[in-house]
């Protein structure tokens, strides 16, 4: 009989026992042979806190290396959690794409991939693909809830929000909005994504978990209020699920609760009509109207060429603002969110 390689078996090794009671911290060792390191691995930090019978949750940070608040909040939570006060299981990966996190970059410097476009991965693939496959096949099936903490990275700045996908199931939408309201960022954005099937959030949905991500801050820096929102949000989710004791603190500075928003179609995106230097006239969370001036495109290389005024196409509130001055034709210069109104 012909022998075949098991193409589905993960090459990642570790000494975490996901069912063992107590707190375990360790590493997922992803093989990465290189010059001068034939048997090298990249050690991706993982913590599992298991307090016996109860629901299970996955917290991920550093899926993009230039988004820092989740990396801070999740590693701090992992250090702080006491298994004695936990009823259920918390799996934490504070720096999923570790090489990108150490480099402060969105894309993985090992294989050039965006980790959040790699699910469900490939057991025989590149670094990101192997790790994505492990998370998809070994971790995702264990959890009821997944919170993937992002901010907007070097290229954008976001309104402080959680985000979730539109799915054609009213019950799931309602449950996920409730999860987001308990995470309690100022905004929760439902969006109809382009190219979203390969994300961590989409993978969690495929496994039947309630799934939210966040976009808290950006511009490649650590925003103190965003760290606080992430820390309170993760604690809140654990309380809401009954994994730790207490009532979620869902209060908002202006009163009320998390504002439910949506980004429904292409009209929400303000695309650059040509290459240039974009001068925005807005900040995240600012209310804007259709026809209002969004900013100017400048062409500093040509004296004769007038700056081009850019207008907003729809009413709403700024969800994403650009971080980079230089834009290329087709780049997104702003994303506008509107109050949630269903499909
Ligand atoms: Zn991200």
User: 7-16: per-residue pLDDT in tens?
Assistant: 789 999 999 9
Query: Does the 268-339 domain belong in CATH 2.160.10.10?
Result: no
pLDDT of residue 4: 60
Backbone angles phi, psi at 78, to 5 degrees: -60, -40
pLDDT of residue 323: 77
| Ranges of each domain in the chain | 22-263, 268-339
d(CA 93, ligand 1 centre) in Å: 15
Topology of domain 22-263 in CATH is Aminopeptidase (3.40.630)
Beta bridge partners of 279: 296
* Distance, CA of 19 to CA of 21 (rounded, Å): 6
d(CA 114, ligand 1 centre) in Å: 9
User: 244-293: per-residue pLDDT in tens?
Assistant: 999 999 999 989 999 999 998 889 999 999 999 999 999 999 999 999 99
d(CA 187, ligand 1 centre) in Å: 17
Total residue count of the chain as it appears in this document: 343
Quick check: 176 and 163 in contact, CB under 8 A? no
d(CA 3, ligand 1 centre) in Å: 41
d(CA 153, ligand 1 centre) in Å: 6
Asked if the domains at 22-263 and 268-339 fall in one CATH topology, the answer is no
The residues, any chain, with a CB within 8 Å of residue 58's CB and separated by 6 or more, are 91, 92, 93, 139, 140, 142, 143, 145, 146, 147, 204, 209
Q: How do 187-191 and 156-165 pair as beta strands? A: parallel
Element (H, E) at 19: none
Quick check: 150 and 70 in contact, CB under 8 A? yes
Angle at 249 between CA 47 and CA 218, to 5 degrees: 65
Angle at 28 between CA 207 and CA 49, to 5 degrees: 70
pLDDT of residue 113: 98
Q: How do 145-150 and 56-61 pair as beta strands? A: parallel
Backbone angles phi, psi at 83, to 5 degrees: -60, -25
Quick check: 284 and 157 in contact, CB under 8 A? yes
Tell me 6's DSSP state: -
pLDDT of the chain, 343 residues: tens digit per residue? 555 666 789 999 999 999 999 999 999 999 999 999 999 999 999 999 999 899 999 999 999 999 999 999 999 999 999 999 999 999 999 999 999 999 999 999 999 999 999 999 999 999 999 999 999 999 999 999 999 999 999 889 999 999 999 988 999 999 999 999 999 999 999 988 655 689 999 999 999 999 999 999 899 899 999 999 999 999 999 999 999 999 999 999 989 999 999 998 889 999 999 999 999 999 999 999 999 999 999 999 999 999 999 999 999 999 999 877 999 999 999 999 999 998 7
pTM for the full predicted model = 0.95
Considering all CA atoms of the chain, what is the largest pairwise distance in Å, rounded to the nearest integer?
76
The residues, any chain, with a CB within 8 Å of residue 282's CB and separated by 6 or more, are 288, 294, 295, 318, 321, 334
All residues with CB under 5 Å from ion ligand 1: 64, 67, 150
d(CA 279, ligand 1 centre) in Å: 24
d(CA 151, ligand 1 centre) in Å: 6
d(CA 68, ligand 1 centre) in Å: 10
Quick check: 126 and 110 in contact, CB under 8 A? yes
d(CA 307, ligand 1 centre) in Å: 32
d(CA 322, ligand 1 centre) in Å: 14
Quick check: 232 and 247 in contact, CB under 8 A? no
d(CA 62, ligand 1 centre) in Å: 8
């Amino acid at each position: 009989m012909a022998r075949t390689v098991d193409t589905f078996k993960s090459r990642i090794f570790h000494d975490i026992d996901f069912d063992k009671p107590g707190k375990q911290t360790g590493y997922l060792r992803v093989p990465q042979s290189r010059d001068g390191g034939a048997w090298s691995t990249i050690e991706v930090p993982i913590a599992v806190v298991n307090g016996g019978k109860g629901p299970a949750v996955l917290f991920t940070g550093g899926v993009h290396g230039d988004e820092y608040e989740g990396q801070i909040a999740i590693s701090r939570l992992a250090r702080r959690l006491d298994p004695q006060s936990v009823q259920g299981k918390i799996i934490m990966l504070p720096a999923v794409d570790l090489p990108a996190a150490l480099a402060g970059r969105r894309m993985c410097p090992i294989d050039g991939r965006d980790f959040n476009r790699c699910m469900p991965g490939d057991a025989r693939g590149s670094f990101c693909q192997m790790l994505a496959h492990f998370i998809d096949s070994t971790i995702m099936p264990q959890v009821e809830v997944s919170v993937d903490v992002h901010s907007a990275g070097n290229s954008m700045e976001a309104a402080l929000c959680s985000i979730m996908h539109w799915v054609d199931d009213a019950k799931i939408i309602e449950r996920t909005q409730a999860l987001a309201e308990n995470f309690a960022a100022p905004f929760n954005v439902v969006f109809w994504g382009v190219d979203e099937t390969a994300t961590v959030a989409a993978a969690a949905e495929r496994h039947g978990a309630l799934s939210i991500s966040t976009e808290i801050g950006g511009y490649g820096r650590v925003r103190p209020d965003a760290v606080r929102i992430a820390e309170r949000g993760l604690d809140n989710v654990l309380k809401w699920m009954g994994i730790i004791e207490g009532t979620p603190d869902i209060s908002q500075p202006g009163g009320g609760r998390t504002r439910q928003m949506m980004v429904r179609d292409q009209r929400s995106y303000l695309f650059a009509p040509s290459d240039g230097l974009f001068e925005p006239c807005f900040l995240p969370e600012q209310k804007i109207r259709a026809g209002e001036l969004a900013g100017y495109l400048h062409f500093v290389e040509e004296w004769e060429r007038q700056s081009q005024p850019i207008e907003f196409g729809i009413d709403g509130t700024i969800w994403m603002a650009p971080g980079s001055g230089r834009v290329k034709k087709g780049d997104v210069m702003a994303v506008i969110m509107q109050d949630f109104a269903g499909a």
